[in-house]
Structure 1
């Protein structure tokens, strides 16, 4: 079982690992694309106005540009420690212990606009690049990544649960993966896709699946694991889609 997570805009500072070495990252077939983007992003940092325009930043966020300038020299830390925010707070992978922590390290992966796809322990520096960034003289990042990333995702074996957001799912297709929607149920019984609970709910789901002793191999088995944990889950509109239903906020 492999759980594909989205990255986060917010990332932890520092790290205790050596500077970035692309050959230490998983999925080595992505190395040429990674090097091209890291070189490009580091060079772009020398032009703050151009960096702000490309990355959608304000002058108050110039520290993010400074991070990009140091991509080849900054310390690294494992990917699951680098990404922060609501989903990663709910995942709370650092609190897993023993066998559960080992399973999480094997089962969790992160989609990345800069690195394509990372395993939990891959050492990476802090950076700023999102799926919607528009680098000068380049088309979309989806057009850049798909030729390299599609074959990697197509080659994944076992059950794949894709929790990536739309922009990151667009960087590479994971055929056969199970996608997850978070819906809210209103008092009148109607439902809608929700953003407020989306990241936290997916983080809790990722924690459950990362640490469980169960090893589901298909969608019915996955449903059983989730339901045993008490999460309200249903078949979605598509054969390979699940819906997690959360209550609507009052007022």
Structure 2
């Protein structure tokens, strides 16, 4: 099983790993696109106004551009430690045992606008690039990533639980992936889609799937793991699951 997570805009600083080596990352067939994007980000960092515009940030966020300038020299840390924010707080890798961390390392992957797809332990530096960024000379990242990334995702010979947010899901489709919606239910039984707070709930589901002693290999397995973790997960279609939260 592979649980496919979205990345986060926020990323931890620092690290103790050696600087970025693309050949050390999983899915090396993505390296040509990774290299193009990394080179473009480093070059663009020399022009703060242009970099800020391309990245969709203000010039007051110059530290984000400086991260890109140091992309090839900054220390690295495993992807699951680099990404931060609500989903990763709920995932709580810091609270996992060594056995659970080993399971999570095998079962979790992160979608990335810069790297395409990362395994949990892949060492990366801090950077700034979002799925909606528009780098000069590249057009949309979707147009760049889809031809390279979709064959990799199509070649995954395991159950994929896709928890990506819509901008990252648009970069490449995952054939036969199981997708998850987060819904709230009020006292009358009325349900509606959760947008603002869905990351925390997806993080809890990812944690349950990542650390379960029994690895899920079917949709039914996913439902059982979620139930044991106290999550109300329902099958809404052949490959669609609804995570229901009391409103």
Q: Structure 2 length as normaliser, TM-score?
A: 0.98
Deviation at 1:83, TM superposition (A): 0.2
Deviations 1:35-67 (A, max 9, x none): 000000110010110111111111221100000
SS of structure 2 residue aligned to 1:63: helix
The answer (yes or no) to whether the contact 2:158–2:217 under 8 Å persists in 1 is yes
What residue is the counterpart of 2:140 in the other structure?
140
Equivalent-residue separation in structure 1 for 2:44 and 2:123 (angstroms): 23
The answer (yes or no) to whether the contact 2:112–2:168 under 8 Å persists in 1 is yes
What residue is the counterpart of 2:158 in the other structure?
158
> Structure 1: 5+ residue runs without aligned partners?
none
1:73-88 aligned at under 5 Å gives the runs 73-88=73-88
Q: How many residues align?
A: 247
What residue is the counterpart of 2:231 in the other structure?
231
SS of structure 1 residue aligned to 2:176: coil
The answer (yes or no) to whether the contact 2:209–2:216 under 8 Å persists in 1 is no
Deviation at 1:2, TM superposition (A): 0.7
What residue is the counterpart of 2:242 in the other structure?
243
What residue is the counterpart of 1:39 in the other structure?
39
What residue is the counterpart of 2:68 in the other structure?
68
What residue is the counterpart of 2:213 in the other structure?
213
SS of structure 2 residue aligned to 1:243: strand
Deviations 1:166-206 (A, max 9, x none): 11011111111100100011233211111232000000011
Deviation at 1:228, TM superposition (A): 2.1
SS of structure 2 residue aligned to 1:242: strand
What residue is the counterpart of 2:59 in the other structure?
59
Deviation at 1:158, TM superposition (A): 1.4
Q: Which runs of 4+ in 1 moved over 2 A?
A: none
SS of structure 1 residue aligned to 2:41: helix
Deviation at 1:150, TM superposition (A): 0.2
Deviation at 1:214, TM superposition (A): 1.1
Deviations 1:116-142 (A, max 9, x none): 000011000000000000111221101
Equivalent-residue separation in structure 2 for 1:80 and 1:225 (angstroms): 22
SS of structure 1 residue aligned to 2:199: helix
What residue is the counterpart of 1:3 in the other structure?
3
SS of structure 2 residue aligned to 1:64: helix
Deviation at 1:162, TM superposition (A): 0.5
Matched, 1:195 2:172: no
What residue is the counterpart of 1:23 in the other structure?
23
SS of structure 1 residue aligned to 2:100: helix
SS of structure 2 residue aligned to 1:135: coil
What residue is the counterpart of 2:117 in the other structure?
117
